[in-house]
Amino acid sequence: MFLRQREPLSFERSVPGKRGMDLPKLDVPEARDTRPAHLQRSGFDALPELSEVEVIRHFTRLSKWNYGVDDGIYPLGSCTMKHNPRLNEKVAGLPGFTDSHPMAPDAFVQGNLETIYTLQEWLKEITGLPGVTLQPSAGAAGELTGVMLIRAYHVSKGAKRRVILIPDSGHGTNPATAAMAGYEVVELPSGTDGTISFDDVTDPVNGKVRKGLRTLVSELGSEIAGAMITNPNTIGVFEYRFKEISDLLHSVDALVYMDGANMNALVGVARPGDFGVDVMHLNLHKTMSTPHGGGGPGAGPVCCSAELLPFLPVPVVVRDTVKVGEGEVPRHSYRMAWDRPQSIGKVHTFYGNFGILVRALTYCLSHGSDGLKAATLRAIVNANYIRTRLKGAYALHIDSPTLHEVVFSDTNQAKHDVHTLDIAKRLIDHGYHPPTIYFPMIVPGALMIEPTESESKDELDAFCDTMLQIAKEAEENPDLLHQAPTLAPLRRLDETTAARKPVLKWAKG
Amino acid sequence: MRYLPSSPVEDRALLDTIGVPNAEALLVGIPDSARLRRELDLPTQGSEQEVAWQMMGLANRNTRFCAQFLGAGAYDHFVPSAIDAMISRQEWFTAYTPYQPEISQGTLQHIFEYQTLICDLTGLDVTNASLYDGGTACVEAALMAVRVAKKRNTVLVSRGLHPMYREVLKTNFAPHDDLNLVEVGLKDGVTDLADLQAKLSADVAAVMVGYPNFLGNLEDLTALAGPVHAAGALLVSVTQEAFAFGWFEAPGKVGADMACGEAMSLGNKPNYGGPFLGFLAVKDAHKREIPGRVVGQTKDLDGQTGYVLTLTAREQHIRRDKATSNICSNQGLVALRANIFMQLAGPEGLKGLAQQNAAKAQYLRQRLLELPDMAPVDDQPFFNEFMLRYTGDYATLQEACLRESLLPGLDLGRFYPEYAGCILWCATELHTRQMIESLVEILARVPATV
């Protein structure tokens, strides 16, 4: 699977005089130099000189040191690594889309506007929320947009609020977002079942009491702007008292933000707008299969209630019905609406990661209402299949059906001095990408597995067999796991030195 | 459904192992009141053929232009075939963020090379794995400057910055009552030095200027750096057209402390504004305040060189509400496109492309100025974009161009009332002399308005 030979940095291969790009013949006079001498480009220190064939081989070889969704199960929990349909890529590459300029007049980009409008309609129905913006470029950008909508809501009522509540099981982006939006974060404790605790929780280790939701709402009251809640939460469980949580927060006019990272468990089965959510984001690079690209680009559309609609970022895509004669099918035209006085403003230079939106709409049209629901159910079946096959060998955090993902802990293996990191690295030797590890933080030595709906029974069995074998290896030969990986191109890397003495770019030798 | 590996026999086997009669039985954790008790009111599934036709229909509903003389933050450049071929490899486009370094060395080494090249272009020391786009890169730069320049709460923004970048800055500063965003005016199409000096104070953390600015004009960073540094503030250069780095000196070498902006030009099409490529490069002294993912070089247990995500103590998954930013997913694959583009171009390619862009823009300007209703506004050095005053009616001109499948320059009055009647034109290596002549010919026929 891996290429064993080492691929040097391209800079080390550079040879003066090589060219990887030929320029067209210049058919106008050479540029006159009007630049002041000190602002003329002097030169480059690192740009390599390579032929096209060398560049292609370099990036092909490097690619073989990666693991992709087509290599097999990619069980990263909370990341929803599902199959990336090739049709989506093909469609997003159509010149009609890729050549279109973001400042072109609306009349000349009707296809783009209809794409945006149609995807918005799908997301409205899927979430049960009437407002949508597709501008945010990623989940975290969606969170920030959503929290700014909450802020605008309170400001419009002449009130400024100070606090955002976030469960201790939440993604790190939630508190970071609240801080970027100018809020103070107060943590909500999880109860023993992993869901948000209404009551105060006493830490079994240090005896410290952490205030539960009820206490916090009664003490902080109108200082609370809202809560950011991941649902299903990061242990794959639906916050079964969501409506109660929402009612309690609404009683002090605080709003409920839902982190939709785990929406793959709910599409077609439950709608956030129906269970008390005011505003949320979706990760199209998770739920709607747009590729992760080694870190992005994604898209983090925000859906909101009617009350928050006036505050949505500008511009908003609007559909007008073109008047037609009697008996004719009405035609539509689309435009960007900019004049929205209560809007929070712009959150992206243009209209978001449009190419990703094209892929997401293609995914929606391919699946349809029936396919979307079937995908949700299959993702849940797959997670529970893994739960059933691995429980016993690995300690379950909660022994009840989960939704789209399942969280184990390393307590069984820890008896043999084998820990989550060792299990993860041993999976690499067996040819798999490891699951998400050490998250959520409320589970000691967490192994968070999300198979998605894309895995067949064969793939699931092969993965489970490997996990069971690793559990056996942990008992019989723990050192095998401590040394892992030994079959990857590199062994474990020294992250401490990397951070202490950072080398962040290549420098000429 | 073709994407689901489902069959009656295997589905049954899965459910039997779990011990439930059907998949719905696994939804017990969702309270009944939260369940959707109907089908989604959406069309049912479509075959690949049907969906392909539907999406092609949408793409075809956009007008294809023979030539676009519009830049304004989204530039049309030639994209070498190697880029699409490379990024279509599943190992690149389907992979996740490289959290597990031993199985992600491809992505990690690419980011390390990308970081090296962005630092080379900008003349600065440290950059990250990418930000969303030019506008949000400005936000990250401004917030970082406030963190670096402790106890200073004001960011001065030149009116020459892309108007959308200024809008995005405004949105993101609004929640912070303790921070100020103050505009610095323009004079002769560049940042007004007198206005800047009047607004510099001990509260100013940073000054942000376009390089070149939105009007296409070159800002003299060296001249601006003097008063900015004297006031103890940081100079942030904002570049919306990365090809300009092949024409103008690296901002880090002429006084900028930070460089940020938009690098979509490196290997991407305009794509209706995204996915684009935000970048931010800073000095070594400020590296622990940079937002986003950063890759560093290290060794494995056997002493082999490898790469890892590093300086993670800045990031949201470790620091939560004390992180330098909330950014998690970035524009990874777009950064890969840029990396491949830069490696294909090399120093000669990048300089050569820059020379061609400058030559085409100069030729376009010269030819347009031969028309009786076009006039220069100022006399600043420019790269591939410039503004001209037009005494005719923009709407009429636009209509005439669009009829001939040419997209004309931007009506600046939309963003700058003081430049009402001015048009921002752009030419790149894609514009042949013939395209430029066609444009001039069409414009010559536009009736003059009284």
Amino acid letter for position B220? D
The predicted pLDDT at position A4 comes to 61
- Nearest CA distance, A80 vs chain B (angstrom): 10
Helices (H), A183-301: 213-220, 242-250
Question: Average pLDDT in the B214-227 region?
Answer: 98
Q: Specify whether the CB–CB gap between B383 and B214 falls below 8 A.
A: no
Residue of B272, B302, B425, B432 for testing the chain A interface, max A β-carbons within 10 Å: B272
Interface touch B119/A505, C-beta < 8 Å: yes
Give percent of chain B above pLDDT 70: 99
* Interhelix angle A354-390/B8-18, nearest 10 degrees: 50
Closest by alpha carbon to A230, among A258, A189, A199?
Answer: A258
Which residues of chain B neighbour A502 with C-beta distances below 8 Å?
287, 294, 296, 310-311
Query: Which value, in Å, is the radius of gyration of the alpha carbons in chain A?
Result: 26
Q: Kindly give, in sequence order, each residue whose CB lies less than 8 Å from that of residue A204, ignoring residues fewer than 6 positions away.
A: none
- Whether residues A70 and B360 touch (CB distance < 8 A) is answered with no
CA distance A233 to B29: 12
Given CB atoms, is A51 within the 8 Å cutoff of chain B? no
pLDDT of residue A2: 58
Q: Global pTM?
A: 0.97
- Using the beta-carbon criterion (under 8 Å), do A381 and B62 form an inter-chain contact? no
Contact call for A455 and B5, based on CB within 8 A: yes
For residues B238 and B209, the answer to whether their CB atoms sit within 8 Å is yes
Q: Which residues of chain A have pLDDT under 70?
A: 1-4
**Span B214-228, average pLDDT:** 98
Show the tokens assigned to A417.
């001095």
Measured between alpha carbons, how far is A293 from B334 in angstroms, rounded to an integer?
A: 8
- Pick the residue from chain A with its C-alpha nearest to B61: A111
- Which residue, chain included where needed, has tokens 């929803």? A80
- CA B340 to CA B327: how far, in whole Å? 24
> If you measure CA to CA, which chain A residue comes closest to B104?
A66
Nearest to B51 among A26, A268, A365 (CB): A365
Helices B105-122 and A52-63 cross at an angle (nearest 10°) of 140
- Alpha-carbon span B445 to B372, nearest angstrom: 11
Nearest-neighbour CA in chain A from B392: distance (Å) = 19
Tell me how crowded residue A359 is: count the other CB atoms within 10 A of its CB. 26
Asked if B354 and A41 come within 8 Å (Cβ–Cβ), the reply is yes
Contact A243 B34 (CB under 8 A): yes
- Subunit contact B340:A59, Cβ cutoff 8 A: yes
With tokens 């539907």, the residue in question is B54
Residue of B343, B344, B414, B426 for testing the chain A interface, max A β-carbons within 10 Å: B343
Predicted ipTM > 0.85: yes
Predicted local distance difference test score (pLDDT) of residue B161 = 98
Q: C-alpha angle with apex A138: A85 to A65, nearest 5 degrees?
A: 55
The length of chain B is 450
At A481, the amino acid letter reads L
Side-chain-facing half-sphere of B271: CA atoms under 13 Å: 26
Q: Compute how many other C-beta atoms are within 10 angstroms of the C-beta atom of residue A418.
A: 25
Count residue pairs from A and B with Cβ separation < 8 A: 700
| Structure tokens, B308 | 């890892």
Cβ separation A35–B70 shorter than 8 A: no
Q: List A residues 99-158 in contact with B (Cβ-Cβ < 8 A).
A: 99-105, 108-112, 114-115, 122, 125-126, 128, 137-141, 143-144, 148, 151
Cβ atoms of B354 and B426 within 8 Å: the answer is no
d(CA A358, CA A363): 9
Span B350-359, average pLDDT? 98
Q: Per-residue pLDDT tens for B316-325?
A: 888 888 888 9
Whether residue B401 is predicted with pLDDT greater than 90 in this model: the reply is yes
With a CB cutoff of 8 Å and minimum separation 6, the contacts of A195 are: A233, A237, A239, A240, A241
Instruction: List the single residue in B29, B88, B107 with the smallest CB-CB distance to A238.
Output: B29
pLDDT at B450: 47
Q: Does residue B449 have a pLDDT over 80? A: no
Cα nearest neighbour of A424 on chain B: B100
Q: Name the residue among A91, A297, A368 with its Cβ closest to that of B45.
A: A368
Angle between helical axes of B332-369 and B433-445 (0-180°, round to 10): 50
Residues B96, A497: C-beta atoms closer than 8 Å = no
| B334 close to B134: Cβ distance less than 8 angstroms | no
Sole residue written with tokens 């106008």: A28
Q: Tens of pLDDT along A224-248?
A: 999 999 999 988 999 999 999 999 9
Q: Which of residues 285-344 of A touch B (CB under 8 A)?
A: 285, 289, 291-298, 313, 344
Could you list the beta-strand ranges (E) of B222-301.
Answer: 234-239, 258-262, 278-282, 294-299
d(CA A56, CA B335): 16
Q: Find the closest chain A residue to B66 by CA distance.
A: A99
Interface touch A296/B55, C-beta < 8 Å: no
Q: Do B35 and A269 touch (CB under 8 A)?
A: yes
- Category of A291 on φ-ψ map: left (φ > 0), alpha (ψ -120 to 50) or beta: beta
The confidence score (pLDDT) of residue A1 equals 52
Cα atoms in the 13 Å half-sphere on the side-chain side of B345: 30
What is the phi-psi region of residue B287: left when phi exceeds 0, alpha when psi lies from -120 to 50, beta otherwise? alpha
Identify the pLDDT of residue A134: 98
Contacts of B1 in chain A (CB under 8 A): 367, 370-371, 374-375
Of the CA atoms within 13 Å of residue B20, those in its CB half-sphere come to 21
Residue A281 touches partner B, C-beta closer than 8 Å: no
